[in-house]
């Protein structure tokens, strides 16, 4: 994974301005390869009774040697939501990947699928997949579920650095208390980049209509099978440092306990992309509004970790942060900055707390900014991901094609600007395959033998340790760009 940035940029540029789905984004540091953080040969036994500890997911060995695998990716599970028709949103412990655990058919195995609001493709790694990424993850197939109906219809999703392809299949998807029958992709070929992320597949909850998986979309299926009464969902993302493990996806209705006051609904812009794309009425740092040449839109994407905007916009924003330093498309800022970044929708301002947009500490003594200067799509489009979404309760309304934002209720803690500088979320870096023999998740600290005993305090301790790893100033950026060239035409 020690690929230089330029090829990535070139690839992503070549794909512009096609639509995307999945845009996890993390910094990669040269100095962070740490063998000690990974002991893939001795995974701890998962305590499958608890939803709130760090679980190494353990693939149960079956007949085929191909399937002798052990999934040691770190997942921080959230508690089961109290509201009906809801499911926990888990994460990687570093606020980079938000996932929903599902089971499929009569399989007892859990699959963690990345929650992707920017596309409607759903796929899971298949049992016949021989790609390295599949060997490292939980895979699914006919030996897992007797109700699985496979097809020969191929699907393919092309990413900036590779692709996922396979064939379609139909089975019952168990998502929280709901069990729709869904046609999804069974991936037989998965590019190596997926070795770096904990998810076993992707759960597409975008608005896309044209799509490379030619089957009814999850929201439509839930609606037509009368499992939900409205095509709407609400998202509350957990913040790892809050330690609340309270991420939740509310299907068919919103969770009124998650926000105060009314939802601020913003109509999606006319589009042909299938994005949840809404106009940004203003952006500011503290009280300084950021001068923008023209109106900007935000693509609201749960599958994107950070906030990506065209370079000139990112520069204009950071110019309002005292002491910022630009390094190509990335920026760093003094770690003690108290600047509050605000995005307004329908002229209602939403704070992005400092602890969210300000990332981990670099060896320069500065901290990264999680707002990156990269044009992902059009020059007016910002890709607004989890760094923002952690600060609001968000509602995706496919009945009226609008996105609602709610101010989070007390109880959903908001870190103050003065809270401790968070450790770099990718403290493990991406392990060097040559050294570890395994390419793993950026957040995939190998679970200790006492993982079954792990508590949130343990996780915090581990994160603190990660913070102590010497950082290399010249961090690089690794991007997995999902193109919907085939998805959205």
**CB of 80 or CB of 272, closer to ligand NAG:** 272
CA 128 to chain centroid: 25
Provide the minimum distance between the beta carbon of 268 and ligand NAG in the complex, in angstroms, as a whole number.
Answer: 5
Instruction: Compare residues 25 and 233 and give the one whose CB is closer to ligand NAG.
Output: 233
Provide, rounded to whole angstroms, the least separation between the CB of residue 396 and ligand NAG: 12
Q: Exposed (0-12), middle (13-18) or buried (19+): which is 28, by Cβ within 10 Å?
A: buried
**Separation CA 190–CA 1 (nearest Å):** 15
Q: Report the nearest approach of ligand NAG to the CB of residue 205 (Å).
A: 16
List 90, 95, 116, 211, catalytic entry: 116
Contact 355, 417 (CB under 8 A): yes
Among 351, 409, 448, 472, binds ligand NAG (CB under 6 A): 351
Pick 168 or 280: Cβ nearer ligand NAG: 280
Contacts of 411 (CB under 8 A, 6+ apart): none
Question: Binding of ligand NAG at residue 219 (CB under 6 A)?
Answer: no
**Chain residues 15-74 in contact with ligand NAG, contact rule CB under 6 A:** none
* 265 part of the interface to ligand NAG, by CB under 6 A: no
**C-alpha span between 34 and 51 (Å, rounded):** 28
Eight-state DSSP code of residue 212: S
In angstroms, give the least distance from the CB of 161 to ligand NAG.
28
Is residue 116 part of the annotated active site? The answer reads yes
Q: Toward ligand NAG, which CB reaches closer, 398 or 481?
A: 398
Q: How far is the CB of 386 from ligand NAG (least distance, A)?
A: 19
Q: Strands 296-300 and 366-369: what pairing?
A: unpaired
Nearest residue (CB) to ligand NAG, 244 versus 417:
417
Residue from 144, 301, 356, 397 carrying the catalytic annotation: 301
Among 401, 456, 458, 467, binds ligand NAG (CB under 6 A): 401
Binding window for ligand NAG (CB under 6 A); candidates: 73-81, 153-161, 163-171, 264-272 = 264-272
Q: Does 270 bind ligand NAG (CB under 6 A)?
A: yes
CB count within 10 Å of CB 262 equals 9
CB of 43: closest distance to ligand NAG in angstroms? 42
Cβ proximity to ligand NAG, 272 vs 435, nearer residue: 272
Contacting ligand NAG within 287-346 (CB under 6 A):
340
Q: C-beta of 267: minimal distance to ligand NAG in Å?
A: 6
In degrees and rounded to multiples of 5, residue 56 shows phi and psi of: -80, 125
| 403 lines the binding site for ligand NAG (CB under 6 A) | no
User: By the 8 A CB rule, do 109 and 125 touch?
Assistant: no
Taking the CB of residue 154, how many other CB atoms lie within 10 A of it? 12
Measuring CA to CA, which residue among 479, 67, 462, 79 is closest to residue 241?
Answer: 462
The interface region with ligand NAG, picked from 100-108, 140-148, 235-243, 269-277 by CB under 6 A, is 269-277
State the nearest-atom distance from the C-beta of 462 to ligand NAG, in Å.
30
Instruction: By CB under 6 A, name the one of 80, 106, 272, 435 that touches ligand NAG.
Output: 272
Give the whole-angstrom CA distance, residue 410 versus residue 258.
9
Contact stretch for ligand NAG (CB under 6 A) within 132-140, 184-192, 263-271, 303-311 = 263-271
Can you give the length of the chain in residues? 489
Closer to ligand NAG by Cβ: residue 57 or 268 = 268
DSSP codes joined into one string, 390-448: TTEEEEEETTTTEEEEEEEPTTS----TTSPPPPPTTTT----HHHHS----TT-PPPP
Decide: 96 and 305 in contact? Cβ < 8 Å.
yes
Task: Dig out the tokens for 173 from the structure.
Answer: 């998807």
Query: CA–CA separation, 340 vs 226, rounded Å?
Result: 43
Nearest to ligand NAG of 243, 489 (CB atom):
489
DSSP assignment of 251-302 equals: ESS--GGGEEEEEEEEEPPS-SS---EEEE-EEEETTEEPP-SS-EEEEE-T
301 is an active site residue: yes
The reply to whether 271 sits near ligand NAG by the rule CB under 6 A is yes
Point out which residues bind ligand NAG (CB under 6 A). 268, 270-272, 286, 340, 351, 401
Q: Which residues belong to the active site?
A: 116, 301
């Amino acid at each position: 994974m020690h690929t230089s940035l330029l090829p990535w940029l070139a690839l992503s540029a070549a794909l512009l301005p096609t639509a995307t789905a999945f845009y996890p984004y993390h910094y990669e540091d040269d100095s962070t390869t740490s063998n000690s953080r990974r002991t893939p040969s001795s995974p701890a036994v998962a305590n499958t009774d608890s939803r709130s500890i760090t679980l190494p997911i353990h693939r149960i060995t079956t007949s085929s040697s191909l399937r002798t695998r052990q999934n040691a990716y770190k997942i921080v599970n959230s508690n089961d939501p109290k509201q009906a028709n809801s499911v926990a949103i888990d994460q990687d412990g570093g606020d980079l990947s938000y996932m929903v655990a599902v089971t499929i058919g009569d399989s007892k195995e859990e699959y963690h699928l990345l929650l992707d609001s920017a596309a409607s493709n759903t796929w899971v790694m298949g049992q016949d997949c021989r790609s390295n990424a599949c060997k490292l993850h939980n895979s699914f197939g006919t030996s897992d579920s007797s109700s699985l109906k496979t097809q020969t219809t191929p699907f393919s999703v092309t990413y900036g650095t590779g692709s996922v392809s396979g064939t379609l299949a139909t089975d019952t998807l168990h998502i929280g208390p709901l069990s729709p029958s869904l046609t999804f992709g069974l991936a037989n070929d998965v590019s190596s980049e997926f070795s770096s992320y904990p998810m076993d597949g992707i759960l597409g909850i975008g608005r896309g209509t044209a799509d490379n998986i030619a089957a009814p979309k999850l929201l439509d299926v839930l609606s037509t099978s009368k499992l939900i009464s409205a095509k709407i969902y609400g998202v509350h993302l957990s913040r790892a440092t809050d330690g609340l493990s309270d991420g939740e996806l509310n299907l068919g209705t919103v969770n009124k306990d998650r926000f105060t006051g009314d939802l601020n609904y913003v109509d999606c812009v006319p589009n042909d992309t299938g994005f949840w794309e809404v106009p940004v009425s203003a952006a500011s740092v503290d009280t300084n509004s950021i001068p923008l040449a023209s109106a900007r839109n935000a693509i609201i994407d749960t599958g994107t970790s950070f906030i990506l905007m065209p370079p000139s916009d990112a520069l204009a924003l950071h110019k309002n942060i005292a002491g910022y330093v630009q390094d190509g498309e990335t920026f760093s800022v003094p770690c003690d900055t108290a600047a509050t970044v605000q995005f307004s929708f329908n002229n209602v301002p939403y704070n992005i707390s400092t602890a969210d947009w300000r990332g981990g500490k670099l060896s320069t003594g500065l901290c990264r900014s999680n707002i990156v200067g990269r044009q992902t799509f059009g020059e007016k489009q910002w890709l607004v991901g989890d760094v923002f979404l952690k600060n609001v309760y968000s509602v995706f309304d496919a009945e009226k094609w609008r996105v609602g934002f709610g101010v989070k209720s007390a109880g959903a803690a908001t870190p103050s600007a003065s809270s401790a500088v968070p450790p770099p979320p990718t403290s493990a870096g991406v392990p060097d395959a040559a050294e570890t023999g395994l390419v793993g998740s950026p957040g995939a600290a190998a679970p200790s033998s006492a993982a079954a005993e792990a508590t949130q305090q343990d996780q915090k301790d581990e994160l603190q340790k990660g913070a102590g790893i010497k950082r290399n100033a010249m961090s690089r950026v690794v991007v997995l760009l999902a193109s919907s060239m085939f998805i959205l035409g």
